[in-house]
Chains A and B, each alone.
Chain A
Amino acid sequence: QSALTQPPSASASPGQSVTISCSGTSSDVGTSTFVTWYQQHPGKAPKLLIYEITKRPSGVPDRFSGSRSGNTASLTISGLQAEDEADYYCNSYVNNKMIHVFGTGTKVTVL
């Protein structure tokens, strides 16, 4: 099972928005309810930002939002802040194999 495809990097200035894509197939991102997004700072464990495609766990700011169109999921960070500089990963359940797969990861830089 190949990793989901994410852009290696993304950047924007403070206060602007950045959107990260996560491309998969009709067997995973395109049809799975279980699409999640993570933020990871250096030396830290991943932190859940979005679950079930669009939902935010308690405590995650509403600056973070998730969506899906076709076989591509997206994470949008609005009102970018310095502390948002981190690596971001998507994950999806793969329906026909009963496994999960992570994205390749995107490094977000706040200019």
Chain B
Amino acid sequence: EVKVVESGGDLVQPGGSLRLSCEVSGFSIINYCMHWVRQAPGKGLVWVSRTCPGGIADYADSVRGRFIISRDNARNALYLQMNNLRVEESALYYCVNLAYSDEKWGQGTLVTVSS
């Protein structure tokens, strides 16, 4: 069975940091570009970042320089280090192998940025 499980979401103050994790089972991430997507309550989907085989990392303009995506192929895991968080970045953060025919989403992990 394919499973994607995100964790690490929490309540954090503006300007704070948080590290999200995504554990994948049922397929090997080594062959895939892996992405983070977020969705604020009642709002639409927003692409955040991706990392592809070979170490390529790309970011949305709004997070570039503050967020760092990484992967551990041996652990079959994806991470997102989020620094200098803003109130408007409160959202459910999803991990997904976006745009593949066997794409699989997790249930997300909730990040709340508030003082």
Interface residues of A (CB under 8 A from B): 1, 3, 34, 36, 38, 40, 45-48, 51-52, 55, 57-58, 87, 89, 91, 93, 98-105
Interface string of B51-84 (1 = CB under 8 A from A): 0000010111100000000000000000000000
Q: Is the interface of A mostly helix, strand, loop or mixed?
A: strand
Q: How near does chain A come to B20, taking the closest CB pair, in angstroms? A: 15
Please give, as numbers and ranges, the residues of chain B lying within 8 Å of A89 by CB-CB distance: 44-45
Q: How near does chain B come to A10, taking the closest CB pair, in angstroms? A: 15
Q: How near does chain B come to A1, taking the closest CB pair, in angstroms? A: 6
- Cα separation A1 to B103 with both chains bound (whole Å): 24
Interface residues of B (CB under 8 A from A): 35, 37, 44-47, 50, 56, 58-61, 94, 98-103, 105-108
Taking CB as reference atom, which chain B residue is nearest A42?
A: B42
CB of B47 within 8 A of CB of A91, answer: yes
Taking CB as reference atom, which chain B residue is nearest A47?
A: B105
Q: How near does chain B come to A34, taking the closest CB pair, in angstroms? A: 5
CB of B44 within 8 A of CB of A51, answer: no
CB of A36 within 8 A of CB of B102, answer: no
Q: Identify B47's interface contact among A47, A87, A100, CB under 8 A.
A: A100
Please give, as numbers and ranges, the residues of chain A lying within 8 Å of B108 by CB-CB distance: 45
CB of A102 within 8 A of CB of B98, answer: no
Beyond A99-B60, A102-B37, 12 extra complex contacts between A and B, CB < 8 Å: A3-B44, A34-B99, A40-B45, A46-B94, A57-B102, A87-B44, A89-B45, A91-B98, A98-B58, A99-B59, A100-B47, A102-B45
